[in-house]
A and B are shown apart, each in its own frame.
Chain A
């Protein structure tokens, strides 16, 4: 091996070591998603309703107050999974009330979350969050309320995950997404614009929920209510994939479908 070969080996080693030490300062301009040379992370983080509500606030003046619907009692559901979905929907209700900046509604929702948490056996995990929500709403501290609602849902999901109950954690997310999408479609349909309707372009989230529901175990899987919810997700998926732009008719259809799904476990309605 001559001097040049040694130099090349040394330089190769040296530059490799330097580049590893520095990491990758700048991400590439393009990556090949069809053959990604790494690890695909399967965990899915569902956006909270507040994320999409924030956009709606920027492009109009939605009547948030009209979107709040108080549920006084459970709609005859017995399975713990539906209680978990109701909990997720109730947290979404809280996000609507935050947008409406309505202390009375938030306090009602905070108290109701304690009742639901108790039914789920999670009162210890939820109590402090609910109390903070109630107290902060009294003082109009909306950002604190919003954070605390996010924490509430996260705490419930983490607690369920720690109890090796990923199925329940997923159902909390589904309930929250459904209620958020339901109010979003209602408000967009009431004051339609193409820009607002684009917020509904969420086909991969719907696919995630379809896969989750398809993988459910136990009596909830074959229940009439879950069959209706599964069918609804299929219809939403089809509408999202068939339409590049969501017309006002499509938005209204999405609203009607989500309402029918919520009537299976959250709202009182013909589904019960």
Chain B
């Protein structure tokens, strides 16, 4: 499993290296990229930088038997505006969700709620733009994952959310 996530990280890291300072690129380079017709591929890469960091946050949990999903959620959002993701969870599995933003001096926070809006988060952390939350669903069904990314210096931030189960 560790080699598998390393491979995921390597792929993501290559994308990350391409646009190491995404926030600068976003301000300066995107119009140029649009003109030269490369925007599609590179914007895709920049969108995934939050995911790369979320996967980094997930790495230690892989050793504890968590299987990390390839599929994920990501995008750009305004600082401080909560994002809500709907997702199916199964009672009997244990889940971790990891969120991240790549901007320096930024933060992320992630929480999980049941269909009535009550928190079901058992354990959480937030550090250096990365955050995580552990959930043991008491019922199989739809849950809501709330992500917030924030910054004192930027109004628009990237974000990524990944999850694992065991």
Contact = CB atoms under 8 A, between A and B. Distances in A.
B92 interface: yes
Interface in B108-140: 108-113, 115-119, 121, 124, 126, 131, 133, 139-140
Q: How large is the interface on B (under 10, 10 to 19, 20 to 34, 35 or more residues)?
A: 35 or more
Contacts, number: 156
B126 A23 contact: yes
Contacts of A39: 77, 81-84
Interface stretch (A26-34, A212-220, A230-238): A26-34
Contact of A43 (B4, B73, B80, B152): B73
A143 B1 contact: yes
Given A27-B109, A33-B113, A45-B71, A58 B92 contact: yes
Interface stretch (B18-26, B31-39, B53-61, B141-149): B141-149
Interface stretch (A47-55, A115-123, A251-259, A264-272): A47-55
A48 B88 CA distance: 11
Contacts of A55: 90-93
Interface residues of A, number: 54
Nearest to A21: B152
Interface of B is mostly: strand
A48 B73 contact: no
Contacts of B69: 45, 48, 150
Interface of B: 1, 3-4, 40, 44, 67, 69-73, 75, 77, 79-88, 90-93, 105-113, 115-119, 121, 124, 126, 131, 133, 139-142, 144, 146, 148-152, 163, 165-166
